Amino acid sequence: MRRLAWFTVVALVCHASTLRADSRLWFGSLNYESARLVVPVLLVVSTDGEGNEWSLGVTGWTLAGERKTAIDSTRKRQWFARVTPINAQSGQYVYRDGRRDPAAEFSASSVELGGGLEVAHRSRWTGAYRVLAIYGPVHDLGPELVAYWKRPFAGVEIAQTYIHVTSDELFGSRWEGVKVGGTAQLLTGTSTWARMQARVGAGKRVGPLMLSGRGAAFTGRSLNTVSDFVIGGSWDLAPPDLVVGYRYAEFRLDRAATIGLAFDLRVGGAWEVGVRGSYLKGKALDEYGAAVQVMTVWRGAMVNAGVAVPKASLARGSTDRIVVFATLSAAILQQ
């Protein structure tokens, strides 16, 4: 429903399974993308010795809370709530031919409630089985879409994750090993619609060089402007719906596939330079982009910044659509 996919890096970074018992992790991030987009992220995750955990966070305009209670060594009950009073479904960011289209932008809010089970099927394989209720009224769209989203939807969600890594960087989008995941949603109300996505990512360090690659596929049934997959963004984060060279929420698609490659070279101390490349395939759409960036650690905080260029600018050799991006992230662990 909402454009939270790329912020799931926070959940990956701060997931309580990576924390020791009776600990609390505070995470903060500030993400900039030209022009004039700044997204703050604040999150706290707490665990206890019995396997219970809770989290509370703010991502942009979205406030989210989650509680997990252990049933046994492999199962947990899960309850969550997410509230987005402004810019739900990224309605304030709609693009046409690479440029903001104010006439197509819309106002939206969203409330999402859910609960279910999280099951550790194997040491590296985790499944989540949840029921959902979503209420997301919209304005400034056609009367049919306004009526469509006037009432709530309810349904189910299944998510699967397999992680086999030897190292996982605390703030970044890189890991040594393999991560595979997928999510499927089916919701019904005034109509019935569904969304599914699958993703895979791998990385390998060779001396001072870090090599990374990832891919993802997105598909849905009976989607519209509000429920389409929102794709785009040049930040150096883990979610598969980012495409370097393009701006946050630049594409709204009911089916798509993405591929990304990254090469990072440690040049001295905590400094690294990297290059990125992404490819996006959608209905009547064939886009690619590239980026260069620098990364370092400054007073315990991870800092990266760079410049990304889309297909159109690469083909013409121009700079009219370049994207400047930067991220500042830090965490404090209390035990």
- Inter-residue contact 264 to 302 (CB < 8 Å): no
Neighbours of 191 (CB within 10 A): 11
pLDDT attached to residue 210: 94
Q: What is the reported pLDDT for 318?
A: 78
Tokens of 237: 């984060």
User: On the CB side of 274, how many CA atoms lie within 13 Å of its CA?
Assistant: 27
280: number of CA atoms within 13 Å, CB side? 30
Q: Which residues contact 229 (CB under 8 A, 6 or more apart)?
A: 195, 197, 218, 220, 223, 241, 252, 253, 254, 256
Q: Are strands 99-100 and 95-96 parallel, antiparallel or unpaired?
A: antiparallel
What is the pLDDT, as a whole number, of residue 17? 46
Per-residue model confidence as pLDDT tens digits over 178-213: 999 999 999 999 999 999 999 999 999 999 999 999
Q: Taking a C-beta distance cutoff of 8 angstroms, is the pair 233, 241 a contact?
A: yes
Q: How far apart are CA 172 and CA 303, in angstroms?
A: 10
Q: What is the pLDDT of residue 35?
A: 81
- Per DSSP, the residues of 162-199 read EEEEEEE-SSSS-EEEEEEEEEEEEEESSSEEEEEEEE
pLDDT for position 98: 83
- The helix (H) or strand (E) run that includes residue 260 is strand 255-268
Quick check: 182 and 127 in contact, CB under 8 A?
no
DSSP-assigned states of every residue in 22-88: SEEEEEEEEEEETTTEEEEEEEEEEE-TTS-EEEEEEETTEEEEEEEEESSSSEEEEEEEEEESSSG
What is the domain count for the chain? 1
Q: CB-side exposure of 289: number of CA atoms within 13 Å?
A: 26
Which residues, given as ranges, of the chain have pLDDT below 70?
1-21, 170-172
Identity of residue 252: R
CATH number (domain holding residue 215):
2.40.160.50
Rounded CA-CA distance 204/207 in Å is: 10
| Residues 6 or more apart whose Cβ sits within 8 Å of residue 301 | 328, 329, 330
Q: Are 289 and 310 in contact (CB under 8 A)?
A: yes
User: How far apart are alpha carbons 316 and 185 in whole angstroms?
Assistant: 40
Bridge partners, residue 231, by sequence: 251
> Do 182 and 148 contact (CB within 8 A), yes or no?
no
Domain span at residue 279 reads: 5-334
